[in-house]
Amino acid sequence: MKTSQSKQISPDLMGRFAAFQSRSGLLRLNAHSSLRRRSLRWILGAADVARRMLDVLGSVAALLFLSPILLMIGALIRLDGGPIIFAQTRVRRHGREFKMFKFRSMRTDAEKRLGELLAANKHGNSITFKIKDDPRVTRVGYWLRRYSLDELPQFYNVLIGDMSLVGPRPPVPREVALYSLADRRRLSVKPGITCVWQISGRAEIDFAGQVLLDVGYIESQSLGQDIKILVRTPRAVVFGHGAY
């Protein structure tokens, strides 16, 4: 029959435990805990301020630098007929809805025709919808989507604070309604124009893969990581890898 051996507690540990039983010990413990909480809040707050500064400076620079291209794209879309900007309801942090702006790349009846195309979903019976050679895409829209030029108006969303330069892509309410509790982890941070899976395969990555990459990004989020993603984004856009 086995006999259990009691673990020996070091005198040093016992001394510290006894010290915290006194009123002064409890006061020191509370002060130490409060200081650590304040330090953590300061660090997180400083990171948020730095990220917001990057968003504002980056979006202003992009809108100014790209203004000739924005005007040219607007003119081409107008010649193709219909409105230039498409405002779509998306879901941001903590489930709040907002209007995300895009250059219109589809016909004006695109939302109405979605139901008849669900069977051709590249992602199968999934939450997200992607289809190759989508018949709803306009002639101009094909090139806009291939090189993500339709996303350029979202720099305005970044400027007004609805989005960030880097973060999980904002889903539509129809998708969020199908989310599991685990999927909703994507909504714990501000959505972005670009993200990890957009520079790693874009539309070729299914929904489960997108969630996995987004959660990994959220758990290791840092300003340095955001800058690396921003640096890699132009190459992914130019080569159009994984775009439909």
pLDDT truncated to tens, each residue of the chain (244 aa)? 444 444 555 555 445 555 555 666 556 656 656 666 665 566 556 778 889 999 999 999 999 999 999 999 999 999 887 899 999 999 999 999 999 999 999 887 777 776 666 655 655 555 776 677 777 888 899 899 888 899 999 999 999 999 999 999 999 999 999 999 999 999 999 999 999 988 886 667 888 889 999 999 999 888 899 999 999 998 887 775 555 4
**Sheet strands (E) in 104-183:** 164-166
HEC sequence for 170-236 = CCCHHHHCCCCCCHHHHHHCCCEEECCHHHCCHHHCCHHHHHHHHHHHHHCCCHHHHHHHHHHHHHH
| Angstrom distance (rounded) from CA 56 to CA 137 | 31
DSSP for 16-49, written as a single string? HHHHTTSHHHHHHHHHHHHHHHHHHHHHHHHHHH
User: Nearest Cα to 58, choosing from 234, 238, 215, 239?
Assistant: 234
Partnered with residue 1 across adjacent β-strands are none
